[in-house]
Structure 1
Amino acid sequence: MVTHYVDSEVGRLGTVLLHRPGPELARLTPRNNDSLLFDAIPWVARAQEEHDAFAAALRDHGVEVLYVAELLAETLAVPAAREELTGSVLADPRLGDTLRRRVADHLTYLDPAALAEVLIAGLAHEELHTTRSRPGGLVYTLMDRHDFVIDPLPNLLFTRDSSFWVDDRAGVTSLAMPARRRETTLTSAIYRHHPRFVGTDFVYRPDLEHLEGGDVLLLAPGVLAVGVGERTTPAGAERLARQVFAAGLAHTILVVPVAQERATMHLDTVCTMVDVDAVLMYPNVAHSLMAYTVVAGEDGEPQVDGPAPFLRAAADAMDLDVLRVIDTGLDPVTAEREQWDDGNNTLAIAPRICVGYERNVETNAQLERAGIQLIRISGSELGTGRGGPRCMSCPLVREPLATVRPA
């Protein structure tokens, strides 16, 4: 078993989990892109080129890149995992008994790689072959030919949302949107059954209150910020606080209300860390964002204080005089445009080194003026699902920050 460990947003990145976009993106049409949470229909081949360039940039900086589809295929070679994951799709109450038997029969004959592709890309009505002796039943007959027997998971691209790590423990999240909830079924199975992860301890599970990884920032060892808004509920933030306090993984949780809007669906759409003492923030909220400070009481109950300005509360929790702020954009209009285009959603691969979309010209210039080395990647197609480099990556190993101080 490999030791996985993450105690910050900016410690040197050693290993990361990505999902290379594939046939699941080709399932998006004008009929379903809204329900599948995409703002446009991506050009799949170009999205793959962009993602390959992102992965290559990480490898060029010494990062080990793991892929969800490959890990899933290897996981499905484990009989218990195969039974668990096929059972999860067959439990869908939409199927009915006859179609469920037909789907079970179809899945039985797939090898692990082919089964992994179906679990990610889905199974279309027209791909399930029926005969008089092997009928699909009433449910299949009444389905539209464009419908899916097993829904695709185009948002699997954003691996940050379905899991995160705090020290050596994995948090498999509870996704709020119905179109995404099966993603954590796959992630959970990988972490529990794949030989690389066997023995992993968990700090969060999908059956708990809604909590998404894009809302969880590891500001410093022992200090977490959790956004609550469109996707993560206050109950989810409280549950995470209880879990990390009980495990001794943190001493302070900052709970940060975020506007419940598409443009600010997660905390990391308005704030990401680029150095041990610096954040990139959307200026429209930088000085109005508030935080509630949660610590463990003597009886183990979370104790809540605040609200206070987020930047002040974060600096205090991180034992800093001040938390430096780098603004998204330059003027209000540019800031709004570049925040929408995930200008805030950078991935730090080491202190003062981060990856960002090249299209956010002013934000990138601001970062470089502040002494941050920027690795630019293209995101014209990857960004159609509203997510940037941080959203597309789940760090599994980072160099501990225990002895690192601001430059």
Structure 2
Amino acid sequence: MTAPGVSSEVGALRTVVLHRPGPELKRLTPRNNDRLLFDGIPWVSRAQEEHDAFAEVLRSRGVEVLYLVELLVEALASEEARAQAIESALADLHLGVTLRRHLAGELATYSPERLAQVLCEGIRNDEVRGGHGLVTSLLAHDDFLLAPLPNLLFTRDSSAWVRDHVAITSLAMPARERETQLTELIWTRHPRFAGTPTVHGWRREHVEGGDVLLLGDGVVAVGVGERTTPAGAERLARQLFGAGLVDTLLAVPIAQERATMHLDTICTMVDVDKVLMYPNIADHLTAYAVTVADRPTSDHPDGDDGLVLDVAPPEPFLVAAAKAMGIDTLHRIDTGLDPVTAEREQWDDGNNTLAIAPRVAIAYERNTETNARLEEAGIEVLAISGSELGSGRGGPRCMSCPVARDPLG
């Protein structure tokens, strides 16, 4: 087994966590898909075929593929982990005392496999046997007592490895809040990852993994927009600086809208000095370089780390990134062929590529113009189908959480 650790976006990928689409996607309906953050109702069996092909491409290039649910089941072998999972899942105030007590007793009898399944696919009101009180009487029969988690597919968002630490993120949308509770269980309770140091946490200010790009060893860019808040970016910066994991953090403001929900929807790295960028906003994208101006010499109360952060004036993103990375130029490869094509392909996750080595990237096959530009720039494109996988607005990078990459150089 390769030791966990990620210090770049493009070092040779050794181990990755995926989530194969499961029964939770069959909970999507035209009435709830918007609330559950899907733009349509995916054909689940086809989505599974597409995902299996994605995993096989990774394996064919020597990548170890781990599945989130399998890891969760193994973590739930621990009695303490099961108790933690049940307590977290039932903390929602809408359940009420009677129903919460009943569900806690019921879930405590489940095997690790059954508990993992229920935590992912949720529980409907008409699936509860016994424990009928005021809450279950007043809710509709098809209301969810425990909401399904269809966005587990996008394993990038709920955690992010930075060197040998894992950041437990805090997801902004209510439909996704529970996802990081499950990833926290995996990283802290699974035997393979025992002792892994963690930063941040799902109870803290909002930060999502799709906004975190490891531009180079010691340089992290964090998008601040619809999902990651300014306070979340600052908290993460303090955690990463305090643990000695980064030298510079670039805070990158992005539009607060669904088309640009994360930084990796408009920018992903495909080589040590090349990024794929959405050209319609590339010229306006800026970054604030954050460094540590002073470190504390004594303990500080109330969780204040005492760090004094220096925030530089904004610069064009490519300029600030190259400067922080210590290179002359961070080269830009544009999405699409023209502004209209670029907008179409960006919406279809043309920017959301997964580098599995320098100059090798996985991309959706439908984004033909973007893929052609990548190939013209010397990038080997491993094209996969994503007509059903993309209904939740996420590409190969969104669907993968790298756990181990080779260091660069």
CA distance in 2, matches of 1:129, 1:198: 37
Alignment equivalent of 1:197, drawn from 193, 198, 222: 193
For 1:390, what is the secondary structure of its paired residue?
Answer: coil
Alignment of 1:297-308 (within 5 A): 297-299=293-295, 300-308=307-315
Q: How does 1:198-347 map to 2 (within 5 A)?
A: 198-299=194-295, 300-347=307-354
Q: Does 1:3 align with 2:3?
A: yes
- SS of equivalent residue, structure 2 residue 157: helix
List, as ranges, runs of 4+ consecutive aligned residues in structure 1 with deviation greater than 2 Å: none
Describe the SS at the equivalent of 2:53: helix
Whole-Å separation in 2 of the counterparts to 1:253 and 1:379: 32
1:138 is aligned with what amino acid?
Answer: L
> Which stretch of the first structure deviates more once superposed, 136-145 or 171-180?
136-145
**Secondary structure, counterpart of 1:196 in structure 2:** helix
Aligned length: 398
Query: Which residue does 1:144 correspond to in 2?
Result: 140
CA contact (8 A) 1:348 1:355 kept: yes
Name the amino acid aligned to 1:359.
R
Q: Distance in 2 between matches of 1:238 and 1:91?
A: 27
Give, in angstroms, the shift of residue 105 of structure 1.
2.8
Question: How far did 1:101 drift?
Answer: 2.3
The answer to whether the 8 A contact 1:162-1:187 is kept is yes
Q: Give, in whole Å, the separation in 2 of the partners of 1:107 and 1:19.
A: 23
Q: Percent same amino acid at aligned positions?
A: 66
**2:69 alignment partner in structure 1:** 69
Deviations 1:298-321 (A, max 9, x none): 343110102100001111111111
| Contact 1:228–1:234 (8 Å) recurs in 2 | yes
For 1:239-265, what per-residue CA distance to the aligned partner results, in whole angstroms no more than 9, with x for missing partners?
Answer: 111111111111111110001111000
Say which is worse superposed, 140-149 or 27-36, in terms of deviation.
140-149
How much does 1:121 deviate? 0.5
Which has the larger displacement, 178-187 or 84-93?
Answer: 84-93
In 2, Cα distance between equivalents of 1:223 and 1:200: 21
CA RMSD of aligned residues (A): 1.0
The one-letter code sitting in structure 2 at the alignment partner of 1:323 is L
Q: Deviations over 1:118-147 (max 9, x none)?
A: 0001011222123xxxx4111111111111
Q: Which residues in structure 2 correspond to 1:91-240 (within 5 Å)?
A: 91-130=91-130, 135-240=131-236
What residue ranges of structure 1 are gaps of 5+ in the alignment? none
Structure 1 Cα separation of the partners of residues 21 and 400 of structure 2: 13
Distance 1:24 1:320 in 2: 45
Partner of 2:314, secondary structure, is: strand
Alpha-carbon distance in 2 for matches of 1:185, 1:246: 23
**Equivalent position SS for 1:285:** helix
Q: Distance in 2 between matches of 1:233 and 1:97?
A: 33
Q: Secondary structure at the match of 2:319?
A: helix
Q: Deviations over 1:80-116 (max 9, x none)?
A: 1000001112222111122122212321221110110
Deviations 1:206-241 (A, max 9, x none): 122110000000000010100000000111111111
**1:137-171 deviations in Å (ceiling 9; x for gaps):** 11111111111111100011100000001100000
In 1, distance between residues paired with 2:109 and 2:82?
12
Matching residue's letter, 2:186: I
Counterpart Cα distance in 2 of 1:303 and 1:104: 47
Q: 1:364-403 alignment to 2 at 5 Å? A: 364-401=371-408, 403=409
Rounded to whole Å, the distance in 2 between the matches of 1:223 and 1:97 is 47
Deviation readout 1:274-314 (Å, 9 max, x if unpaired): 00000000001112100101111134311010210000111
Distance 1:254 1:111 in 2: 44
Tell me the distance in 2 between the aligned counterparts of 1:377 and 1:30: 27
Determine the C-alpha separation between the residues in 1 that align with 2:161 and 2:104. Answer: 34
Q: 1:61 to 1:2 in 2, by over 3 A?
A: closer
Amino acid at match of 1:101: R
In 2, the alpha carbon distance for the partners of 1:217 and 1:89 equals 30
Aligned-residue offset at 1:2? 6.4
Q: Distance in 1 between matches of 2:393 and 2:51?
A: 15
State the alpha-carbon separation in 2 of the partners of residues 204 and 9 from structure 1. 20
Correspondences of 1:39-78 after superposition (within 5 Å): 39-78=39-78
Partner-residue secondary structure (3-state), 1:106 = helix
CA distance in structure 1 between the partners assigned to 2:385 and 2:206 by the alignment: 32
Q: C-alpha separation between the residues in 1 aligned to 2:65 and 2:188?
A: 19
Q: Is the 8 A contact 2:2 2:15 kept in 1?
A: no
